[in-house]
Chains A and B, each alone.
Chain A
Amino acid sequence: MKRQIPLLLTFFAGAIPIFAFFVPEKHVGLVSTTLDSWLIIVAGFALLLGVVNVVQMNANKIKRQAQGWPYAIILLAGLAIMGFFGFAGSFNVFGGIATRPDGSSTPFDWLYKYGFLPLQGTMFALLAFFMASASYRAFRARNTEATILLFAALIVMFGRIPFGEMVSKWFPLATEWIMGKPSMAAQRGIMIGAALGAASMALRVILGIERSYLGLGKGE
């Protein structure tokens, strides 16, 4: 029974949206949208579970003085400070969580703008350097395929910058052709295959044939 109930629930949760896709009847649509709302509620509870896990894990790390435990203190302090101002702000203490009517920042807004966003931006900016190192490795002409890739990449890079157009008007045209024809064809091939794979996976999950995501193996 412990194994049958999750499979039964999966069947209904998977079959109802498919049914609603084809049947416009009001009640079917209502059940489908209600299921979506339930997902948000369940996610809310799961988030609480996640926060508890973060606190437990990092508190244990500090207690055991495990490798990198000072970072755990910073993490918990960040969680407590942001959590406090966010929670208090939601009850309109300190002027809420957004900007005040006079344009000044509430504590939560200030922490978000001047603490969180710059850190987030820094991580995103690192992408440029990682992209450069990855490109350097990818574009080494080790064999025929890699050499073709190198030439295609050079043409696309020249076609995407004003300098390329200045050198020759053919660069943007060749770039457009590479991106619109061979690259697009390959991407669509992958997308069609992936879409069929996803549909097949969904069918296996709905029918209870695929159970490994539940930790249930063969013969269960």
Chain B
Amino acid sequence: MRNSVHLAKRFSVCWLCLTLVLMLSSARVQGQTAQTEPAGNSIPEPAPPVAGAVTASDTKSDEGGSITVKWTEPAGSKEMGLEYEVLRSDKQDGAYVPVGELSAGDSEYADTGLTDGQAYYYKVRSILGAVSADSEPSQAAFSKGNFFRFYRLNALVLLAVFSSAVLYYITRARKAKPIYIRKIAGLDAVDEAVGRATEMGKKMLYIPGIMSVDEIQTIASLAILGHIAKLSATYNADLEVPNKDPLTFAAARETVKEAYLEAGRPDLFREEMVNYVTYDQFAYTASVTGKMVRERPATNFLIGSFYAESLLLAETGQAIGAIQISGTAEVAQLPFFVVACDYTLIGEELYAASAYLSREPVLLGSIKGQDITKFLLIVALGLGVVLESIGIKFMATAFKMQ
């Protein structure tokens, strides 16, 4: 038994030694081959073509600390598979360090993180395989901060036209000139919905969407909540506002409290009318749908920014037979609301709701201004279609937003 163990050990040691010897000899042979290969291909690779006309200048319309380097690509650079390296130095004849890598087809590079007012020089290195060639250095370039983003001039013009139209009609409304606004069925039904809940002695649920107050739809929803809370205070209806976002919760509570105060019924306001549920979308949905099924509110308002929970909430409300008024500017959720609710405020109607409900001439004036801008945009769209069709690209460029 002991002999067989000895034999096995000896055999293993011999096997290991043999393997080691074979590996070492194989490595030596490979090394000799690798060294000899260049000797076999001794023809030097041709130097790549050099990038021409390297210029460097301050990057336009930025906050500073950036220089844009431009160059002319050599002919056939794409076919050759040329690559570029942008090199920077603070002295024209100093040491250049690589700052960016680009491939054929690129002829511009924005170098960032620079000190404003300091001189910088650039070279562009063309790389083809293992060989490279540097261009002549550029002239000195200095970065500086700019005071206007000129590429957004079109947005500023549009904003100016829009603001002027809105402010003009607000001023006109202040002079008591009557402004016509078309009927919005969903908003006309608000009084009926509040009245129904009061008569039935049941709750009204106001769901202000699931987004925070940095979302304009939530602001619009809070404005509508103010009107509904005032009506609720006047009729002594039971209003409840469950919230998903903590900031919306804080804002909604203040809105409702102030509305009750303004309606002259601060005594009817209770803290639990506006409550916080959870920050999770589906846990919130579960809580609100559960409340709908258990407490069977007479009226549901689903107004604000909604996502996947829109149909879950609206269908549950539909199933319990509540009168439902919804409103959102989320295009993907609109079909769900249209199907499951009695009235739906579509897109811009949500933003017009506050003006419509208050009937304040100043607010109605802003809606008129908005409509005028919309008309101008429709004209621009029509003109754009015609001009593009006949090959004039002006409109597409003018309206391009960056």
Q: Nearest Cβ distance between residue B292 and chain A, in whole angstroms?
A: 12
Residues 281-324 of B contacting A (Cβ, < 8 Å) = 282-283, 285-286, 290, 294-295, 308, 311-312, 315-316
Q: How large, as a class, is the contact surface on chain B?
A: 35 or more
Option from A47, A123, A190, A200 in Cβ contact (under 8 Å) with B366? A200
A50-B276, A57-B275 known; A24 and B331 CB under 8 Å?
no
18 contacts between A and B (CB under 8 A): A18-B159, A21-B149, A22-B149, A24-B146, A24-B147, A123-B282, A127-B312, A130-B315, A133-B315, A137-B340, A190-B334, A190-B346, A190-B347, A193-B374, A204-B166, A214-B255, A217-B358, A218-B358
Q: Nearest Cβ distance between residue B53 and chain A, in whole angstroms?
A: 28
Question: A215, B259: Cβ atoms under 8 Å?
Answer: yes
CB-CB under 8 A from A131, the residues of chain B are 311
A53-B275, A68-B294, A134-B339 known; A214 and B258 CB under 8 Å?
yes
Query: Whole-angstrom distance between the alpha carbons of A31 and B184 in the complex?
Result: 40
Question: A201, B220: Cβ atoms under 8 Å?
Answer: yes
The stretch among A38-46, A89-97, A160-168 that forms the contact with chain B is A38-46
Contact with B along A111-122 (1 / 0, CB 8 A): 000000001100
Which 6 residue pairs of A and B lie closest in terms of their CB atoms, listed nearest first? A215-B258, A197-B351, A197-B348, A50-B276, A194-B347, A46-B246
A134-B315, A209-B362 known; A22 and B152 CB under 8 Å?
yes
Query: Whole-angstrom distance between the alpha carbons of A199 and B247 in the complex?
Result: 22
A22-B156, A50-B249, A213-B222 known; A204 and B366 CB under 8 Å?
yes
Question: B272, A134: Cβ atoms under 8 Å?
Answer: no
Is residue A141 contacting chain B, with contact meaning CB distance below 8 A? no
Q: Nearest Cβ distance between residue B394 and chain A, in whole angstroms?
A: 20
Residues 169-220 of A contacting B (Cβ, < 8 Å) = 187, 190-194, 196-205, 209-210, 212-218
Is residue B280 contacting chain A, with contact meaning CB distance below 8 A? yes
CB-CB under 8 A from B155, the residues of chain A are 21-22
Which DSSP category, helix, strand, loop or mixed, fits chain A's interface? helix
Q: Nearest Cβ distance between residue B374 and chain A, in whole angstroms?
A: 5
Question: B331, A191: Cβ atoms under 8 Å?
Answer: yes
Question: B251, A213: Cβ atoms under 8 Å?
Answer: yes
Residues 138-174 of B contacting A (Cβ, < 8 Å) = 145-149, 152, 155-156, 159, 162-163, 166, 170
Q: How large, as a class, is the contact surface on chain A?
A: 35 or more
Is residue B214 contacting chain A, with contact meaning CB distance below 8 A? yes
Closest residue of chain A to B260 (Cβ to Cβ) is A215
Is residue A126 contacting chain B, with contact meaning CB distance below 8 A? yes
A198-B351, A213-B219 known; A47 and B339 CB under 8 Å?
no
Q: Nearest Cβ distance between residue A111 and chain B, in whole angstroms?
A: 14
CB-CB under 8 A from A124, the residues of chain B are 282, 308
Which DSSP category, helix, strand, loop or mixed, fits chain B's interface? helix
CB-CB under 8 A from A120, the residues of chain B are 280, 282-283
Option from A21, A51, A57, A191 in Cβ contact (under 8 Å) with B152? A21
Q: Nearest Cβ distance between residue A139 and chain B, in whole angstroms?
A: 9
Question: B222, A199: Cβ atoms under 8 Å?
Answer: no
CB-CB under 8 A from A201, the residues of chain B are 216, 219-220, 351, 354
Question: B347, A197: Cβ atoms under 8 Å?
Answer: yes
Query: Whole-angstrom distance between the alpha carbons of A60 and B271 in the complex?
Result: 12
Is residue A26 contacting chain B, with contact meaning CB distance below 8 A? yes
Question: A123, B286: Cβ atoms under 8 Å?
Answer: yes
Is residue B352 contacting chain A, with contact meaning CB distance below 8 A? yes
Query: Whole-angstrom distance between the alpha carbons of A210 and B367 in the complex?
Result: 12
Query: Whole-angstrom distance between the alpha carbons of A139 and B372 in the complex?
Result: 36
